[in-house]
Structure 1
Amino acid sequence: MRHADIIQRLAGLGGAKWEVHVKAKALRAQGRDIIELTIGEPDVPTPPALIEAATAAMHAGRTGYSDGRGEPKLRAALSERYSQRTGRAINADQVMCFPGTQTALFAVFMGIADTGCDVLVGDPMYATYEGVIRASGADMVPVPLHPENGFRLAADDLAARITPRTRAILLTTPHNPTGSILTADDIDAIGKLALEHDLWIISDEVYEDLIFDGETFISPLSRPHLEDRVIVVSSISKSHAAPGFRSGWCIGPQAFTEALLPLSETMLFGNQPFIADMTEQAVCDGSEVADGMRTRFAARARHLEHRLSQGCNLKVHQPQAGMFALIDVSSTGLNGHDYALHLLDHAGVAVMPGSSFGTTLEGWVRIALTVDDDAFDTACTRIIQHATQLQLETA
């Protein structure tokens, strides 16, 4: 039987990148002692107040069809939030609500890109970006993020890859998997390129509320001269420890959101009103769990660097935000993929190969900072012992 072109465009994307995670799950199911440091799940449950808000909304009958743009009160709350955060007026008609950031990204790229277009993305990148870009028919063009530049996207590297095919630049700030944050100068230099070449800027800001103390976040949405070309996507998945509720949004120019509405309605025709009510409360009240998460994640990243610098020759890149840290494992003589499998098999610690996020991290692995302190310290001990054993075997 024949398939649509989109099936071919997405063939081979997705599952293979999670090989180590899937194997770790299977080993745990068999009774093996495995510490999972693969997935970015919040380390706390969804706050009871949000569960109660969703439950109360269901009991109140908020289970019918919804507005195709998103429920009006939620869009008003997001309008207020982003107006305050950016220092410029964002009206409710610039807001569209989706089931999570992933769906928002899919819809946005279906709305701005097409076959024959290129989208520039920093490499490394979140594992599903290639899929949401290729689904539209566009091609993804990786732009290397260099460790010596703090894994921040450099305008010069972008400029070298811009062609007449280029339609958009996809930013992630704070970044997954590196935890880097674009500076004001970075944003302005990238914005200048977008203006010169008439490009969209898509900014994934899902980790905005998990910025570590002493760091500063700047959104391109705060730049008035970029207002007709910036689209921000985010959700409550990370900030409010509510990934399973799948509640996200995009903020963009009103002309864009109006043009995107028929596509959104064709895909979804609205979100669940009771989840919208819960999300409205989350947006209005702020997060009661974000402060604790960012404090713990920052402390675990520092602990990881301290333990490994004292115990072995693996190098840790310190994140500025988010749920992850990177380890340079090239000194072991293994690439990140082979190292991750060896570490899982011989030390019972599951980490993500850097190659799951692009070619730039071939010699790296990503560590989730989301297990409790005791388990995390045990994982550090196992990583050190494993590195020592690898050194002995290769000596």
Structure 2
Amino acid sequence: MRYAQVTDQLAGLGSEKWILNAAAKRRQAEGHRVINLTIGEPDVPTPDSLIETACTAMRAGRTGYSNGRGEPVLLDALSRRYTTRLNRPFGHDRFLCLPGTQTSLYLVFRTICEPGCEVILGDPMYATYEGIIRASGAVPVPVRLKPEQNFRLQAADVAAAITPATRAVFLNTPHNPTGAILQPGELRALGELARAHDLWIVSDEVYGDLTHDGRPFTSALADPEFEERTIITASISKSHAAPGFRSGWAVGPADFTHRALPLSETMLFGSQPFIADMTAEAIASAPVLAQGMAARMARRAQILFDRLDGVAGLRVHRPEAGMFALIDIRALSDNSLAFALELLEATDVAMMPGASFGLALEGWLRVALNASDADTEEACARIAAYAMQKAA
């Protein structure tokens, strides 16, 4: 039988990236005491108040079809949120509501790219980004993010990668897996570069409310000078501990949302009204839940640093935001997948191999910070013992 070429383009870019999570779950099912630090799940359940809002909406009949752009109650809430945060008006025509950031990004790249286009993005990158870009027919062009620059994408490096085929620069700030936050000057330099070459700026900002130690976050949409070429995506999955509800959005120029709407309606004709009601309530309030989560995750990153940095040559990179820290294992191994699998087998601690996030992170591990402080301490003890044994 014949298949579409996209199935070949995406081969190996799906669940294969998450082999450590699958292996950890198998060991748990066998009765092992596994500390699973692979997935960026929030460390608290979805708030009861949000679940009750969704249930009340369902009981009230908010279970019918929606429209393609989004429910008015959610569009109102998004308009208030971005108007307040960015200090200029954002009307309903600037938004599209979709089931999560992943779907939003798929829509964005299907709308702005075509076969043969190039999209520049940082390496390391979130594990699904390459697939999202390739699904549009475009080609990802990785630009190395350097530890000595705190893994922040630099305009000079982007400029060196631009070709006549370049269509967009894809940002992720705060960044997964490194936790880096792009600074206003860096965003401006990237915006000027995009304007000079008539490029789109696409920014995944799902971790925007999860900055550590009070660090400020600047959206790629903050500077109105570049808003006609800037599209951002976000969701309530991380900030409001609601990943399973799949509720996100895209914000961009009105012409972009107008052109993307028919494609969105082809994918799915509107999200669930009861989830829209829940999302509207979530984003209307101060990000107290996210701030508490960020404080706990910053504390766990510090535990990792205090317990592991320098042990048997390990180095720990502390994030500025988000749900992950990094461990540089190059003193012990240059094969992150093999090391992670061996570590799981020997210690029942599961972490993601850096190779799942690009060539630049080979020789590193990504550590989720959502385990309890006690489990984080226990994981560090197991890792330290294993590292010292391996180095001996």
Q: Same fold (TM over 0.5)?
A: yes
TM-aligned CA deviation for residue 313 of structure 1? 2.5
1:305-316 to 2 correspondences below 5 Å? 305-309=305-309, 311-316=311-316
1:222-301 to 2 correspondences below 5 Å? 222-301=222-301
Q: Distance in 1 between matches of 2:64 and 2:333?
A: 58
Contact 1:323 1:368 in 2 (8 A): yes
Partner of 1:337: 337
Partner of 2:119: 119
Amino acid at match of 2:235: S
TM-aligned CA deviation for residue 205 of structure 1? 0.3
Q: Distance in 2 between matches of 1:288 and 1:51?
A: 17
TM-aligned CA deviation for residue 370 of structure 1? 0.2
Q: Distance in 2 between matches of 1:390 and 1:311?
A: 11
Q: Distance in 2 between matches of 1:151 and 1:288?
A: 27
Is the alpha carbon distance of 1:65 and 1:300 closer, same or farther for their aligned partners in structure 2, counting shifts above 3 Å?
same
Partner of 1:211: 211
SS at match of 1:106: helix
Q: Distance in 1 between matches of 2:84 and 2:185?
A: 21
Q: Distance in 2 between matches of 1:46 and 1:382?
A: 31
SS at match of 1:70: coil
Q: Distance in 1 between matches of 2:119 and 2:40?
A: 25
Q: Distance in 2 between matches of 1:390 and 1:326?
A: 19
TM-score (ref. length: structure 1): 0.98
TM-aligned CA deviation for residue 132 of structure 1? 0.8
Deviations 1:317-353 (A, max 9, x none): 1100000000000011342112111110111100000
Unaligned runs of 5+ in 1: none
SS at match of 2:75: helix
1:1-395 to 2 correspondences below 5 Å? 1-309=1-309, 311-392=311-392
Which is further off, 231-240 or 64-73?
Answer: 64-73
Amino acid at match of 1:143: V
Contact 1:237 1:244 in 2 (8 A): yes
Q: Distance in 1 between matches of 2:145 and 2:66?
A: 41
SS at match of 2:380: helix
SS at match of 2:182: coil
Unaligned runs of 5+ in 2: none
Contact 1:88 1:222 in 2 (8 A): no
Which is further off, 203-212 or 309-318?
Answer: 309-318
Contact 1:21 1:350 in 2 (8 A): yes
Over 2 Å off, 4+ runs? 309-313
Which is further off, 174-183 or 82-91?
Answer: 82-91
Amino acid at match of 2:236: I
Deviations 1:94-149 (A, max 9, x none): 01000000000000100000101000010000000011110010000001000000
TM-aligned CA deviation for residue 309 of structure 1? 2.8
TM-aligned CA deviation for residue 311 of structure 1? 4.4
Root mean square deviation of aligned Cα: 1.0
Amino acid at match of 2:43: D
SS at match of 1:269: coil
Q: Distance in 1 between matches of 2:313 and 2:3?
A: 50
